[in-house]
Structure 1
Amino acid sequence: MRRFLPSLSALQAFEAAARHQSFTKAGEELGMTQSGISRQIQNLETFLGIRLFERIGSRLTLTGLGNKYFLEITQNLNRLEEVSMDAVRGRTADASLMIGAAPTLETRWLLPRLGSFLSEHPDIPVEITTLGAEPDFRNDGIDIAIMRGFGTWPDARAKPLFDEELVVVASPKIVPPGSPQEPLDFARYPILQNASRPSLWLIWLRVSKLNYSGRIQGVRLSTSELLIQAAVNGIGLAVVPPQFVKREIERGELHTPFGPPVRSGEGYWVVQSERESQHENAAAFRNWLLREAVRERNACTARPPA
């Protein structure tokens, strides 16, 4: 028996028009004229025997039935798109190993190393996503999170990757290399602050035990990546993990005029949900991360002091 289904082009026209509340904008999105969208909507309304839109003055609005139909159709079109893309990929989207981390850790630590994992496990599809403050394993589909903290998260297991260290970096443009810099005079240099970690300077001052004077105030930036770029451009001094600025220090774009890195008391951890089974792909990635952390620690130990 033939299915009671409208044409896909009519459904696409309706979904776009309902989302934009405009036939004109729907047409621009789908590469059709405004009148073409209107004809598709009319055909759909005739097929269903209901009104989907009404005009109130110059405004286009959905009817009650139209709004309900829009919500249902959107879900089904999204699902149809997803299974079609799965067919093209040859696998389902949820087969990917979903890895989450903070943005600067992703770009500065994880991505430069990721090629070795992909070489070892070419059959494991990997997807990298940026995490907020806390991982949501149930709703975000995260298999493994790389988190900074003290190793305790609700309903999760954590294994240590490496201790967090902090160092103050500066461009040679604003702090001449080799000049004595103690005590640190905050009135003398422009300061960069991490808006997501407003106490970072105080943490560094406490663990470094460096003498200082003046008030800590300056430009606030949302991520360590922005802090690094601002420091390279001579906008100010920044407190960052040394793992994130190896390249800039090697190039001479930044240096560490206020002493070597110091441990903050926190660390970076591999975090997995306790509720989820430890499937093979997640275990492979977790073990690879732990080996990379050990390899980095060994390399730092073997490196002769500067």
Structure 2
Amino acid sequence: MRRYLPSLSALHAFEAAARYMSFTRAAEDLGLTQSGISRQIRNLENFLGVPLFHRSGPRLVLTEVGATYYRDLALSLDRLQEISIDAVRGRSVDSSLMIGTHYTLASRWLPERLGSFIAANPDIPLEIAPALPSVDFETTRLDIAILRGAGTWLHARAIELFTEKLAVVSSPGLIPPGTRLDPLEFSKFPMLQNASRPSLWLHWLRVAGLSYSGRIQGTRFSHNDMLINAAVHGVGIAVIPISFIEPELAQGKLHMPFGDAIPSGDSYFVVYPERKAHQPSIILFRDWLVRQTRKYDRYGASRK
């Protein structure tokens, strides 16, 4: 008996459109035209006999049926991908790990530690991908993530790793090493801004218990690596999570003339989907990561 299945192309088009909530971005992702995406989804809706999107001008909203269909479809496509990978490499995808985290943490904090896991588990393939704290653990393709937040994610389990701590840092060329300044003297120096966390200076003032009514302005950088590089070269001072700048602090390229790092109120957590909670490779990586961060106390970046 022939299976009651729509075309795979139509399913891909719908999954991408629902993930991005945009026909244009779905088309870019799949290498199709916007009209091609629209046609595939129209064909899928005709096949199912129900609308999947409400269309209000350029804005897309999933119908109730569409939202349920998307969640189930995303899981099914993930599973189809997994068994296809299994067939290609001759082993179960359960033995591999897709790890998601903040881009800067992935490029600066994680590599320093990851070597010991790879050395101890050479048969577990790893893939590192960017992930936002807003990741949907019901549908994500990630196996496990390292995320900043308050510790609550739907459809997921989370274990605290370490407290995020913030410091105002300077290069030795801008402020001599060993100098200790009153924290409010920061206003005497050019201030660098973080476009991805634009309120970070105000947040630092609040958690430091400082009262300041002046203007906070300065060159804005869209990425943490740019901001850190500018601080190292003496362009200005910056508020930076110290987990991002361990090498620069250790090498003396940056220092903390306005006082020690202070907790931001957030922590980093290892987070993984409930539906994958018993996958052996996830448990192995989770436990290794917890052991690594239990001793993570350099520059005051310890657990609470």
In structure 1, list runs of 5 or more residues that go unmatched: 1-18, 22-60, 69-81
Distance 1:151 1:85, change over 3 A: closer
Amino acid at match of 1:224: N
Q: Who is 1:196 aligned against?
A: 196
The separation in 1 between residues aligned to 2:125 and 2:276, in whole angstroms, is 19
The separation in 2 between residues aligned to 1:246 and 1:268, in whole angstroms, is 16
* Contact 1:185 1:214 (8 Å CA) reproduced: no
Residue 178 of structure 1, CA deviation: 3.6
The answer to whether structure 1 residue 127 and structure 2 residue 127 are counterparts is: yes
The answer to whether structure 1 residue 153 and structure 2 residue 153 are counterparts is: yes
Q: Who is 1:285 aligned against?
A: 285
The separation in 2 between residues aligned to 1:142 and 1:164, in whole angstroms, is 23
Deviations 1:169-226 (A, max 9, x none): 1112222334442253455211112212122111211222346563111122233322
Distance 1:198 1:100, change over 3 A: same
The separation in 2 between residues aligned to 1:155 and 1:113, in whole angstroms, is 28
Q: Output the TM-score relative to the length of structure 1.
A: 0.65
* Contact 2:94 2:279 (8 Å CA) reproduced: no
The answer to whether structure 1 residue 231 and structure 2 residue 231 are counterparts is: yes
Matched residue SS, 1:141: coil
Matched residue SS, 1:296: coil
Residue 107 of structure 1, CA deviation: 1.5
Q: Who is 2:254 aligned against?
A: 254
The separation in 2 between residues aligned to 1:255 and 1:201, in whole angstroms, is 17
Deviations 1:233-268 (A, max 9, x none): 112111112222221122221110100010111100
Matched residue SS, 2:291: helix
Q: Who is 2:163 aligned against?
A: 163
Amino acid at match of 2:200: L
Deviations 1:87-134 (A, max 9, x none): 775447675311000011112211111111111111111111011342
Residue 155 of structure 1, CA deviation: 1.7
Distance 1:20 1:157, change over 3 A: closer
Q: Who is 1:272 aligned against?
A: 272
Amino acid at match of 2:221: L
* Contact 2:95 2:281 (8 Å CA) reproduced: no
The separation in 2 between residues aligned to 1:142 and 1:222, in whole angstroms, is 25
In structure 2, list runs of 5 or more residues that go unmatched: 1-30, 44-81
Distance 1:156 1:119, change over 3 A: same
Residue 276 of structure 1, CA deviation: 3.1
After superposition, the CA RMSD in angstroms is: 3.2
Matched residue SS, 2:295: helix
* Contact 1:184 1:213 (8 Å CA) reproduced: no
- Percent of matched pairs sharing the same residue: 50
Distance 1:300 1:261, change over 3 A: closer
Amino acid at match of 1:173: G
Q: Output the TM-score relative to the length of structure 2.
A: 0.66
Distance 1:146 1:20, change over 3 A: closer
Amino acid at match of 2:257: P
Distance 1:161 1:245, change over 3 A: same
Deviations 1:145-183 (A, max 9, x none): 111010011221110000111111111222233444225
Further displaced range: 229-238 or 203-212: 203-212
The separation in 1 between residues aligned to 2:177 and 2:212, in whole angstroms, is 19
* Contact 1:137 1:143 (8 Å CA) reproduced: no
Q: Who is 1:108 aligned against?
A: 108
Amino acid at match of 2:116: S
The separation in 2 between residues aligned to 1:171 and 1:280, in whole angstroms, is 44
* Counterpart mapping for 1:11-26 below 5 A: none
* Contact 2:183 2:258 (8 Å CA) reproduced: no
* Counterpart mapping for 1:49-68 below 5 A: none
Further displaced range: 229-238 or 131-140: 131-140
